[in-house]
């Protein structure tokens, strides 16, 4: 590859196949496949990759993708110069190509467009591509995640993820929230319960990758009223389930002068907005994923609210009816099968609130009428997808917070700044966190979180 500089000739020589192109074609105006319908009958140039080839003697079908979509190129031998036909015959899966042709409606499928190919320029002839159009195991595909991302299903999932993230931002931005991101490097555990990834901080101190921005959110909410943070979150737990990543993205709103009921209302408005937005803008993708959209259409406020006590009764009744294997005793946290059973009783997300304070984090406010309960809420997604939101009202009293820190055996000095928030104008405040990947998993109807992030980090998966 040589560039003579300026606007003079720009030559690309591909030694592998000895193809030469000049600046004229490489700079030709690009049309994205998603836009071809508007250019029916005109000559357009598509810059992309060869997704698949089917040949029928003297008629070739070239499936071309360019990130915006996939289009089938039609190439009859007798309609193009010999050189174009011969080049097409050598193309391999995922070779990069620039194809010029004329979009035309599919003879049998109104609404879908094909491309009558006139010219093909080879940019690079791909070597034997590991991911064939046939079936593969998840492990093999994950090892080739950098290439797997090129397939239709992954396109659909990542587009839904994008739509969800955009909706999340729009919801908070339009609702008076200020984005105030919290640090990824933190000096100590936020909650002291889970395992953190440790980082050497210039040799003389240890730092940890954040497991939640919540404590910092309380400071920004006290400054700006309504805030949210949105960033990567890290959990070093050795979880090996379909619901866990070691690195995931979490959005966490926090509201000053808000109580538990306020954030429950916020959560149901928020989740409904996000789901409805995906339904509005990503029908095609949901179709590729074979998602039952009727179930998503039902996600509108209000959501059922279920006190922990009543959830326990529900589980105990379920046990008596033989629908829940183990007897659930009051005071414990719900396991995955328990959550599945509870959420299975509703066709909307269910908000379970007021868990026993003992099993919740130290900063949870206590119920004024039942000091053994925490003013917290978990939102369980329908169809067995489990917890996607966790949050609640934060401890307002300086003295009570000090006792909680002591009870949880946490080092008080690490929380002095956090205690300051209770010394200087303490107010009732509340918030929650939502795991983006769990939300995407549910909205897409997947059975595992690992496909909802471009490069998942899990126990036993740090590459690619």
Between residues 25 and 68, which has the closer beta carbon with respect to RNA?
Answer: 68
Q: Taking CB under 7 A as the rule, does residue 24 contact RNA?
A: no
Residues 430-459 that bind RNA (CB under 7 A): 433-435, 437-438, 448-449, 458-459
Question: Angle between the 336-343 and 308-320 helix axes, to the nearest 10 degrees?
Answer: 90
Q: Taking CB under 7 A as the rule, does residue 194 contact RNA?
A: yes
Q: How far apart are the C-alpha atoms of 368 and 357, rounded to whole Å?
A: 12
| Cβ-Cβ contacts under 8 Å for 127 (sequence gap 6 or more) | 92
Taking CB under 7 A as the criterion, the residue among 25, 52, 293, 396 binding RNA is 52
Taking CB under 7 A as the criterion, the residue among 78, 174, 205, 294 binding RNA is 78
Between residues 4 and 336, which has the closer beta carbon with respect to RNA?
Answer: 336
Binding region for RNA (CB under 7 A) out of 163-171, 177-185, 362-370, 388-396? 388-396
Binding region for RNA (CB under 7 A) out of 14-22, 179-187, 335-343, 362-370? 335-343
Residues 346-365 that bind RNA (CB under 7 A): 359
State in angstroms the smallest separation of the CB of 8 from RNA: 37
Taking CB under 7 A as the criterion, the residue among 98, 123, 266, 388 binding RNA is 388
- E-strand ranges in 334-428 read 350-353, 366-367, 370-374, 376-381, 386-393
Between residues 250 and 421, which has the closer beta carbon with respect to RNA?
Answer: 250
Between residues 255 and 434, which has the closer beta carbon with respect to RNA?
Answer: 434
Q: Taking CB under 7 A as the rule, does residue 111 contact RNA?
A: no
State in angstroms the smallest separation of the CB of 226 from RNA: 20
464 prior amide bond cis, ω within 30: yes
Of 363, 366, 368, nearest in space to 433 by CA: 363
Q: How far apart are the C-alpha atoms of 97 and 45, rounded to whole Å?
A: 10
Binding region for RNA (CB under 7 A) out of 7-15, 138-146, 275-283, 365-373? 138-146
State in angstroms the smallest separation of the CB of 450 from RNA: 7
State in angstroms the smallest separation of the CB of 376 from RNA: 9
Taking CB under 7 A as the criterion, the residue among 66, 94, 114, 121 binding RNA is 114
Between residues 9 and 193, which has the closer beta carbon with respect to RNA?
Answer: 193
Q: How far apart are the C-alpha atoms of 387 and 381, rounded to whole Å?
A: 6
Question: Torsion angle of alpha carbons 170, 171, 175, 179, nearest 10°?
Answer: -60
Q: Taking CB under 7 A as the rule, does residue 329 contact RNA?
A: no
73 prior amide bond cis, ω within 30: no
Between residues 280 and 333, which has the closer beta carbon with respect to RNA?
Answer: 333
Residues 213-232 that bind RNA (CB under 7 A): none
> Could you count the other beta carbons within 10 Å of the beta carbon of residue 355?
25
φ, ψ at 146 (rounded to 5°): -60, -25
Q: How far apart are the C-alpha atoms of 38 and 133, rounded to whole Å?
A: 30
Q: Taking CB under 7 A as the rule, does residue 331 contact RNA?
A: no
Binding region for RNA (CB under 7 A) out of 14-22, 202-210, 257-265, 382-390? 382-390
DSSP per residue, 38-60: GGTTS-EEEEEEEEEEEEETTEE
Query: 323-335 b/e with 16+ CB inside 10 Å = b?
Result: ebeeebeeeeebe
Taking CB under 7 A as the criterion, the residue among 94, 163, 387, 451 binding RNA is 387
Q: How far apart are the C-alpha atoms of 338 and 315, rounded to whole Å?
A: 7
Q: Taking CB under 7 A as the rule, does residue 136 contact RNA?
A: yes
Residues 397-416 that bind RNA (CB under 7 A): none
CA 396 to chain centre: 33
State in angstroms the smallest separation of the CB of 400 from RNA: 20
Q: Taking CB under 7 A as the rule, does residue 212 contact RNA?
A: yes
Maximum separation of any 2 CA atoms in the chain, in Å: 86
Residues 232-291 that bind RNA (CB under 7 A): 235, 237-246, 248, 250
Q: How far apart are the C-alpha atoms of 110 and 40, rounded to whole Å?
A: 13
Binding region for RNA (CB under 7 A) out of 170-178, 259-267, 305-313, 334-342? 334-342
Q: Taking CB under 7 A as the rule, does residue 319 contact RNA?
A: no
Q: Taking CB under 7 A as the rule, does residue 317 contact RNA?
A: no
Taking CB under 7 A as the criterion, the residue among 24, 29, 82, 135 binding RNA is 135
Q: Taking CB under 7 A as the rule, does residue 77 contact RNA?
A: yes
Look at the alpha carbons of 106, 109, 113, 119 in this order and tell me if their dihedral is positive or negative: negative
Of 251, 298, 242, 252, nearest in space to 275 by CA: 298
Between residues 330 and 398, which has the closer beta carbon with respect to RNA?
Answer: 330
């Amino acid at each position: 590859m040589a560039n003579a500089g300026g606007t003079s000739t720009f030559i690309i020589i591909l030694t592998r196949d000895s193809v030469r192109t000049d600046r004229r074609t490489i700079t030709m105006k690009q049309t994205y496949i998603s836009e071809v319908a508007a250019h029916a009958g005109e000559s357009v140039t598509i810059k992309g990759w060869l997704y698949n080839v089917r040949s029928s003697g003297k008629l070739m079908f070239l499936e071309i993708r360019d990130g915006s979509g996939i289009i089938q190129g039609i190439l009859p031998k007798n309609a193009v110069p010999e050189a174009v036909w011969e080049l097409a015959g050598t193309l391999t899966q995922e070779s990069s190509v620039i194809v010029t042709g004329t979009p035309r409606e599919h003879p049998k499928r109104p609404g879908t467009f094909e491309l009558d190919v006139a010219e093909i320029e080879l940019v690079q002839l791909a070597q034997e591509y590991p991911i064939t159009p046939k079936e593969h195991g998840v492990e093999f595909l994950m090892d080739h995640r950098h290439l797997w991302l090129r397939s239709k299903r992954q396109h659909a999932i990542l587009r839904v993820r994008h739509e969800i993230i955009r909706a999340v931002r729009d919801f908070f931005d339009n609702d008076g929230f200020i984005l105030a991101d919290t640090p990824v490097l933190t000096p100590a555990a936020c909650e002291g319960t889970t395992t953190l990834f440790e980082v050497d901080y210039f040799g003389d101190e240890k730092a940890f990758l954040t497991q939640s921005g919540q404590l910092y959110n309380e400071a920004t909410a006290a400054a700006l009223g309504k805030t949210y943070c949105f960033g990567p979150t890290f959990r070093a737990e050795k979880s090996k389930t379909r619901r866990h990543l070691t690195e995931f993205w979490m959005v966490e709103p926090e509201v000053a002068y808000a109580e538990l009921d306020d954030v429950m209302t916020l959560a149901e408005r928020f989740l409904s907005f996000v789901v409805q937005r995906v339904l509005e803008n990503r029908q095609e993708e949901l179709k590729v994923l074979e998602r039952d959209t009727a179930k998503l259409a039902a996600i509108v406020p209000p959501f059922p609210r279920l006190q922990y006590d009543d959830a326990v009764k529900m589980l105990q009744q379920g046990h008596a009816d033989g629908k829940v294997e183990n007897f659930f005793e009051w005071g414990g946290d719900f396991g995955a099968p328990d959550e599945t059973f509870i959420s299975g009783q509703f066709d909307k997300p269910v908000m379970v609130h007021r868990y026993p304070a003992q099993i919740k984090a130290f900063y949870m406010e206590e119920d004024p009428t039942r000091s053994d309960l925490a003013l917290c809420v978990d939102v369980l997604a329908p169809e067995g997808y489990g917890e996607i939101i966790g949050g609640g009202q934060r401890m307002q009293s300086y003295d009570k917070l000090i006792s909680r820190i002591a009870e949880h055996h946490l080092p008080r000095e690490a929380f002095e700044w956090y205690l300051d928030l209770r010394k200087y104008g303490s107010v009732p405040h509340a918030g929650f966190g939502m795991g983006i990947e769990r939300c995407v998993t549910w909205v897409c109807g997947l059975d595992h979180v690992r496909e909802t992030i471009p490069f998942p980090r899990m126990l036993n998966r740090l590459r690619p």
